[in-house]
Chain A
Amino acid sequence: MRLRVPPGAPAALKVLAAAAAAPAPVRPHLGGPAERPQAPGPELELQLELDSGAVLFSPNAICQYFYLCRGEEPTDLTTQWLEWEATELQPAVAAALYLRLVQGRAGPEALGLLQPLLAHLEQHLARSGTSHLAGDAASVADVVVWGSLFPVLQDQTSLPSELQVLRSWFGAVSASEPCRAAAALLPEALRELRGHLAQHPPHLPGPPREPQQDEESPERALTDDDIAAAVEIWARGPAALPPPREPQTPVLPVAGERNVLITSALPYVNNVPHLGNIIGCVLSADTFARYSRLRRWNTLFVCGTDEYGTATETRALQEGLSPRELCDRYHALHADIYAWFRISFDHFGRTTTPQQTRIAQDIFQRLLARGFLLQDTLEQLRCESCGRYLADRFVEGTCPFCAYAEARGDQCDRCGKLINAVELQNPQCKLCRGTPVVTPTQHLFLDLPKLEGQLEAWLERTWAAGEWTANARHITRTWLRDGLKPRCITRDLTWGTPVPLDGFRDKVFYVWFDAPIGYLSITATYTEHWERWWKNPQQVELYNFMAKDNVPFHSVVFPCSLLGADDNYTLVNHLIATEYLNYEDGKFSKSRGVGVFGDMAKDTGIPADVWRFYLLYLRPEGQDSAFSWADLMLKNNSELLNNLGNFINRAGMFVCKFFGGTVPAMALTAEDQRLLARVTLEMRQYHQLMERVRLRDALRCVLGISRHGNQYIQVNEPWKRIKGDERDRQRAGTVTGVAVNLAAALAALLQPFVPGVSAAIQGQLRIPPERCGLGPGLTCTLPAGHRVGTVSPLFQKLEPEQVEALRQRFGGGQAKEPPPASAPPPAPAPNTSVAPGDPKLIQELTEQVTKQGNLVRQLKAAQVEKAQVNAQVAKLLELKQQLALAEGRSPEVPKGKRKK
């Protein structure tokens, strides 16, 4: 029999107590390091493996088993308690613990959730008159219920004094020997439990709970207060919006205001970002930055390219450029891509600047002076003819495992094993083909173990107040649990920040030490007063955005550098990490040509805002998600076109068509007021989600609001009433007026997500900029008499053929892009003068291609003469080529038969 009780298992206590009560004591196996699992989830499962091989995973069944072994059979009463505990008590306890441990709410508030259940226990004990739950003797029921309650109560005095009988029961059970032994484990268990709960938040009752997954969630009934509050906000008009900020350059923190500093992980310069990178960092950060500015918080958003390191140096050698030239080229490429995606950096800089050298060296000197750096010797390959130590990628040799002759210094391409460069047989310098020799060399290490205590104290404070995604907390905790080790901060390279210390002057800083300092130095290239942002934790709130692989550097390593350097640095308050975005069913891969990369997105003919919308709609929040072309089309056509676009367009068109472009007078009825209240509730939810950086869920809120608008129009039918009598006409006016104001509110709500669309709505409805802020609810910003402009459709339909063509083009299997030189010159089509991307032409051609394709298929099916078929095929190919040109892509070279 083997009992596994991993740390943090919520039911550990009762199982341990029941185990101790078993006739033959079971030694629990408390999940130790040997079984450290890779993925969160199953490792937290507590289980009892029986000698027969059967496995019990239900804590209550395990407890029951131990008591059965003692010969205690279940009774109706014990079964009933166990069932009650599993169905009612457990969920409530989990919610209460979550409130207390993860969200840090006070005891009484958390206990409030348990109130009815505690009362039930009290009542039962009092009425039955027995000392225990199922009679006068202790039974499995007592252990199970006690084990659930103990982590919340810990002591009977935390029970309200009126629950006297319950108090004495709880005291007695706690004092029994098996329970006492189990309870001794509690302090440790609680810490682990906090981790578990943060990973698996339970369903909480009340408003702050997880937002509903279903968009069609049951509508909360509106109260009179909701309606009164919404009507009041509506009546306040533009006054309900926060006053606009005077734009200032540079943006600097202001005392007494909310100063928000936002960074997005620095993209590595010679990797062209793919859609996953874009949603993971810059687009998420941008959406939040835009929201922050809309709330009129004092916001600075910085990012830049990370340029130092081996990869750049190697690549530059390959391309015959200097690293600087290479970086210049790629930096511009990055800047272009982000500009196209409308990323609103206040500054997009780079890490190869004098400021970087100055600040990195200063942090280094401070760490050195405070004794946080260690020296140690490493064995490394040195090429005497080049006069340098060789980084892993600069060595090749024979793989020590599989004898492959061209293994790289870090990994063998044939057997895939990781290699330590000094273990290579017959090593060769990649640059001069000379033979490097193993030479001991001195390196510097950051003494992380020495900083661990400071780090943990800081994390505790930060986590209590900050918004950290669950994966960020989890990854950080895993690092801490494994124990920190000293990390080498120097490398034998030239393309980096030089180490300012005798004996190390031919070395540079390792990128992981250097790169995050880029946030500071990039701000320093933006303003000389950068220290007011970065050495000002009292006034500044720092948000870091990244994908989950980057978490340890931002939550452990970089904070340790800054804590050790001890110069009142601004440390991260909110760490927002996404999971991964996959492409169709696989991974993005530049080398295999799979997936959409930043520079190609604009060639698809799909507008930047549609990309932004779709990427945010499937932002990998909480779990991985996958990009799919079919889904992109579906979301574009259903959500953007039919829901949002349709509502905003209709609202504007009614004003133009029925009221000559002037917003009509509005007399609100009870029904209109209910709409205001409904929308105001949704907006409140939107704000809550945005503040917690749950961008994807907030976007769904916006779509929900637009759906309410569509329903409202549909039910009230202003296009019919406008033809009716005076009262009907007035009603049509009110509905149109409310709808167009809702459209104006949507312009603001959408701004963080799709700024271009938002600007278009503002233009069409002529909303003055100062009335485009985000208020607490729906307010009348376009009063009667306001003149709107010309209203036109905001979105275009995506057609299946178009999307299928894109899927084929980007969807793997396609080894290379057609070589530009060998591509045949485009057929002299009569209409090549048309600019690429003309949607009408594309549509025409797409139709023609489809028609011609069908014709060819028919001919083939009818087994017509070959020459005749070939003539039609040639025509089809020509049409396809024209279509390709119209879509702005280089025409494909006709290939042999291709199978899907």
Chain B
Amino acid sequence: QVPVLQTNNGPGLRGLMTIAAHLVRQARKDQLLGSTAEEKAVVQQWLEYRVTRVNGGSSKEDTRTILKDLNMHLEDKVYLAGNIFTLADILMYYGLHHIMADLTVQEKEKYLNVSRWFNHIQHYPGVRQHLSDVVFIKNRLYTNAH
């Protein structure tokens, strides 16, 4: 189930992360891969997280860990790589959509930072495509949640 991209030259490319990065460069949107060395490494890191953890994990336990990790990471960030929108946000959005769509209202509040980020990304122009809009409530219901 690893995606393969047949290109005009060479044996083709294998892997979600590889293919997506290739297409980004083709489309000359290199800023989606980060501009500084640091941003590039951070984008790389979250793409890797996306293909190893989000793709690999399927149990409830894995899902919880992923949401917890991300919630912590996004506590003080707008996007995965900080203040810039990158490929990592796009691919993570696609990887998490089925998980977010299944969360209860309470869980969405529990992973507040992920919810805020997800809602932001799904409304980013051109991102959502065919996927359903996941609804987030503005007012918190479970105010005493820790």
Chain A residues packing against B (C-beta within 8 Å): 50, 52, 54, 56-58, 60-62, 64-65, 68-69, 74, 76, 79-80, 82-84, 86-87, 90, 127, 213-214
Among B11, B15, B37, point to the contact of A84 (Cβ < 8 A). B15
B11 / chain A contacts, CB cutoff of 8 Å: 127
Tell me the minimal C-beta distance from A800 to chain B in angstroms. 23
Residues of B within 8 Å of A82, CB to CB, are 44, 48
With A50-B38, A65-B37, A213-B59 known to touch, is A80 a contact of B13 (CB < 8 Å)? Answer: yes
Smallest CB gap from B49: residue in A: A58
Report if B21 contacts A (CB, 8 A): yes
- Our count of residue pairs bridging A and B at CB distance below 8 angstroms stands at 74
Judge whether B45 is part of the interface by a CB distance below 8 angstroms: yes
Give the most central of B11, B15, B21: most A CB within 10 Å.
B15
Q: Assuming the A-B contacts A60-B44, A86-B52, are A65 and B38 also in contact, with contact meaning beta carbons closer than 8 angstroms in the complex?
A: yes
Chain A residues with CB below 8 A from B45, complex form: 56-58, 60-61
Say yes or no: B44 contacts A58, CB within 8 Å. Answer: yes
- List 4 additional A-B contacts (Cβ < 8 Å) besides A52-B38, A80-B13: A56-B41, A60-B44, A79-B17, A79-B21
Whether B51 pairs with A64 at a CB distance below 8 angstroms is: no
Chain A residues in 8 Å Cβ range of B120: none
Q: A76-B13, A76-B18 are in contact. Are A86 and B51 (CB under 8 A)?
A: yes
Cα-based distance from A61 to B40 in the complex (angstroms): 9
B82 interfacial by beta-carbon distance below 8 Å:
yes
- How far does the alpha carbon of A369 sit from the alpha carbon of B60 in the complex, in Å? 59
With A82-B48, A83-B51 in contact, do A64 and B15 touch (Cβ < 8 Å)?
no
Bound-state CA distance A62–B41 (Å) is: 7
Is B14 engaged at the interface, CB distance under 8 Å to the other chain? yes
- Most chain-A CB neighbours within 10 Å: which of B2, B16, B22, B41? B41
Contacts of A80 in B (CB 8 A): 13-15, 18
A60: which B residues are within 8 A, CB to CB?
44-45, 48
B17 CB contact (under 8 Å) in A54, A62, A65, A83: A83
Q: B42 at interface (Cβ–Cβ under 8 A)?
A: yes
8 Å CB interface, B75-91 against A: 82
Determine if A65 and B41 form an interchain contact, defined as CB atoms under 8 angstroms apart.
yes
Contact with A58, one of B21, B37, B48 (Cβ below 8 angstroms):
B48
Chain A to chain B: the 5 pairs with minimum beta-carbon distance, closest first: A61-B45, A65-B41, A68-B37, A83-B15, A58-B45
CB proximity of A24 to chain B, nearest CB, Å: 12
Q: Which residue from chain A places its CB closest to the CB of B16 in the assembled complex?
A: A83
Q: Is the interface of B mostly helix, strand, loop or mixed?
A: helix
Within the complex, the shortest CB–CB distance from B69 to chain A, in Å, comes to 10
Which listed residue (A68, A76, A86, A87) contacts B41, Cβ 8 A? A68
Q: Smallest CB-CB separation from B56: which chain A residue?
A: A87
Question: In whole angstroms, what is the CA distance A87 to B55 when docked?
Answer: 10
Report A-chain residues with C-beta under 8 Å of the C-beta of B55. 87
Which residues does chain B contribute within 8 Å of A214, judged by CB atoms? 59
Partner pick for A61 among B2, B48, B56, CB 8 A cutoff:
B48
User: A80 vs B18: C-alpha distance in the bound complex, in angstroms?
Assistant: 5
User: Inside 8 A of B38's CB, which chain A residues have their CB?
Assistant: 50, 52, 54, 65
* A50 contacts across to B, CB distance below 8 A: 38
Q: How far is the CA of A83 from the CA of B22 in the complex (A)?
A: 13
Nearest CB in chain A: distance from B51 CB, A? 6
A40 to chain B: closest CB distance in Å? Answer: 15
Bound-state Cα–Cα, A65 to B11, Å: 27
User: Closest residue to B81 on the A side, CB-wise?
Assistant: A54
A64 touches which one: B2, B16, B40, B59 (CB < 8 A)?
B40
Interface residues of B in 24-61 (CB under 8 A from A): 37-38, 40-42, 44-45, 48-49, 51-52, 55-56, 59
23 sample A-B contacts, Cβ–Cβ < 8 Å, listed by A number:
A50-B38, A54-B38, A54-B82, A56-B45, A57-B45, A58-B44, A58-B48, A58-B49, A60-B48, A61-B44, A61-B48, A64-B40, A64-B44, A65-B37, A76-B13, A76-B18, A79-B15, A80-B15, A80-B18, A82-B48, A84-B15, A87-B2, A90-B52
A79–B37 CB distance below 8 A? no
Q: Which A residues are CB-close (under 8 A) to B59?
A: 213-214
On whether the beta carbons of A87 and B42 are closer than 8 Å, the reply is no
Residue of A nearest to B40 (CB): A68
Contact of B44 among A69, A74, A84, A127 (CB under 8 A): A74
Asked if A86 and B48 make an inter-chain contact with CB atoms under 8 angstroms apart, the answer reads: yes
Q: Are A87 and B49 in contact (CB under 8 A)?
A: no
- A74 in contact with B40 (CB, 8 Å): yes
Which of B37, B44, B55 lies at the interface centre, i.e. has the most chain A CB atoms within 10 A of its CB?
B44
Question: Known contacts being A61-B42, A74-B21, is A69 close to B37, with CB within 8 Å?
Answer: yes
Q: How far apart sit A82 and B21, CA to CA, in the bound complex (Å)?
A: 12
CA distance A127 to B10 in the complex (A): 11
- The residue in chain A whose Cβ has the minimal distance to the Cβ of B52 is A86
Give B2's nearest chain A residue, CB to CB: A87
Most B Cβ at <10 Å: residue of A50, A64, A79, A214: A79
Cβ of A87 and Cβ of B44 under 8 Å apart? no
Could you tell me the distance in whole angstroms from the C-beta of B4 to the nearest C-beta in chain A? 11
Q: How far is the CA of A74 from the CA of B47 in the complex (A)?
A: 14
Inside 8 A of B17's CB, which chain A residues have their CB?
79, 83
Residues in B neighbouring A76, C-beta threshold 8 A: 13, 18, 21-22
**Complex Cα distance A60/B50, Å?**
14
A52 to B34 Cα, complex, angstroms: 15
How far apart sit A84 and B48, CA to CA, in the bound complex (Å)? Answer: 10
B22 → chain A, closest Cβ, in Å?
5
Please name all residues of chain B whose beta carbon is closer than 8 Å to the beta carbon of A64 when the two chains form the complex. Answer: 40-41, 44
CA distance A74 to B30 in the complex (A): 12
Within 8 A of A (CB), among B54-111: 55-56, 59, 82
The answer to whether B21 and A54 have CB atoms under 8 Å apart is no
Q: In whole angstroms, what is the CA distance A83 to B21 when docked?
A: 11
Chain A contacts of B49 at CB under 8 A? Answer: 58
Residues of A within 8 A of B15 (CB): 79-80, 83-84, 87
Assembly CA distance A54 to B14 (angstroms): 30
